[in-house]
Amino acid sequence: MALDPGFRMHAERTPNPNSVKWVLGAPIVSGAASAYFDASPGDDASPLATRLFAVPGVRGVFVASNFITVTKAEDSEWADLAQGIVDAVKSFVASEKPALGPAFAAQAAASGGAIEDRIRRVLDEEIRPAVAMDGGDVVFAGYREGRVELYMQGSCSGCPSSRATLKLGIEARLREAIPEVTEVVAL
């Protein structure tokens, strides 16, 4: 993907004061693929995340269809990080490399029964799109005896309001749609 002279990106605040969502003018991963990194994964897994982790103060990178959520260290200031992040993203786009490299292995969806399928459907159709608007994602990890386990990623990871999102939003919706669900927890 060559750097278009009209390439645009802009930053959006998220509910997490330590995370900013950087929206790009074009997709950087295909389909519904996404990835969260809490350390530099290396160029083979994600050349984009590797460049972003080279910016001092970056502590987390979430890559999705047309946005990147960057999480900073508590003691860093956005004013000190912003230009480095913009430069890293522009450098990545100019490289024409994929955001997720050949060594990236997405979590395979575990096969499950009818309840798991219903949980995934509600997550994919209703919850994940809403959470993505705030620069985050929720990934289904498992279901056992009424308990749904999720990974909170991007701006959701470490967000002060993530517990409210989890309990008042996600858990309430899943319990409403799927009576077998009694609890939702983040791993």
Domain with residue 119: its CATH number is 3.30.300.130
State which of 63, 95, 127 marks the end of a domain: 95
Residue 100 domain flag: no
Domain count, the chain: 2
**Same-domain check for residues 65 and 38:** yes
Of 170, 187, 176, 181, which Cα lies nearest the Cα of 143?
A: 181
Q: Based on the domain organization, do 55 and 83 belong to the same domain? A: yes
Contact 158, 66 (CB under 8 A): no
Q: Tell me, yes or no, whether 164 and 125 share the same domain.
A: yes
Q: Do the domain assignments include residue 107?
A: no
Q: Which residues pair with 163 in a beta bridge?
A: none
Categorize the per-residue pLDDT at 4 as very low, low, confident or very high, splitting at 50, 70 and 90. Answer: low
Question: What does the pLDDT read at residue 3?
Answer: 46
pLDDT at 110 over 70: no
Whether 171 has a pLDDT exceeding 50, the answer reads: yes
Q: Which domain holds residue 128?
A: 114-186
> Domain ends where: 61, 95, 129?
95
Verify that 89 and 46 share a domain, yes or no. yes
| 139 and 76 within one domain | no
Give pLDDT, residue 2. 46
65 with 118, same domain?
no
SS in 3 state form for the chain?
CCCCCCCCEEEEECCCCCEEEEEECCCCCCCCCCEEECCCCCCCCCHHHHHHHCCCCEEEEEECCCEEEEEECCCCCHHHHHHHHHHHHHHHHHHCCCCCCCCCCCCCCCCCCHHHHHHHHHHHHHHHHHHHCCCEEEEEEEEECCEEEEEEEECCCCCCCHHHHHHHHHHHHHHHHCCCCCEEEEC
Q: How confident is the model at residue 106 (pLDDT cuts 50, 70, 90)?
A: low
Same-domain pairing of 126 and 54: no
Same domain, yes or no: 77 and 131: no
